[in-house]
Amino acid sequence: MVNMSDMKQLLLRRLLKRADYATLDLKPEAGANHLAEVALIAQIRSGMIAPDDYLQPAATRVALSRDNDVEFYASSNGDRWLLCEHEKADEIFVLHRSNPRSGGHETRMSVGSFLALAPRGPEHEALRVLLSDR
């Protein structure tokens, strides 16, 4: 009997080796595993954070102007999504605040990166509506 988990791991290793372990450079190869590689690459990319969207260390973060934050969605589990603006820079971004039971972590990303995430949820639609009203 073939173990699917082992096959997926083997396929992942081959993909990563071909891209020299640079996940942004993953490309499916033509052949018998093409569809499986396409699906695996999509799965990897859906969990990736673009380099520009990594959180900065606390010491280098610019203070946020909380007066300009707009909460555009709150989930039933307590997660919150806000449209925020830098106090000193002319930059708008999305701030995701996980619920306190999950640790209350904050993740910041550009509006474009947030809207490009898959799968899309109701928070994406709420931001689109907010932006269309501005």
Per-residue pLDDT reduced to its tens digit, 16-32: 788 776 776 778 888 88
19 in Cβ contact with 37 (< 8 Å):
no
Residues 63 and 117 in one domain: yes
pLDDT-derived band at 34, boundaries 50, 70, 90: confident
Torsion, Cα 46 48 53 56, to 10 degrees, reads 150
- Answer for the pair 125, 115: CB distance below 8 angstroms, yes or no: no
Query: Is the whole-model pTM more than 0.75?
Result: no
Domain that holds residue 27: 4-48
Question: Is the domain of 42 the same as that of 58?
Answer: no
Q: What integer pLDDT is reported at residue 53 of this predicted model? A: 55
74 pLDDT above the threshold of 80 = yes
Q: What pLDDT sits at residue 94?
A: 93
39 and 57 together in one domain:
no
User: Domains in the chain: how many in total?
Assistant: 2
Same domain, 14 and 56: no
- Which alpha helices (DSSP H) does the chain contain, by range? 4-18, 34-46, 111-116, 122-133
Q: Are residues 39 and 65 in the same domain?
A: no
Whether 28 and 79 map to the same domain: the answer is: no
Residues 60/70, Cβ–Cβ less than 8 Å: no
Tell me, yes or no, whether 71 and 118 share the same domain: yes
Mean pLDDT within 108-127: 89
Q: How confident is the model at residue 125 (pLDDT cuts 50, 70, 90)?
A: very high
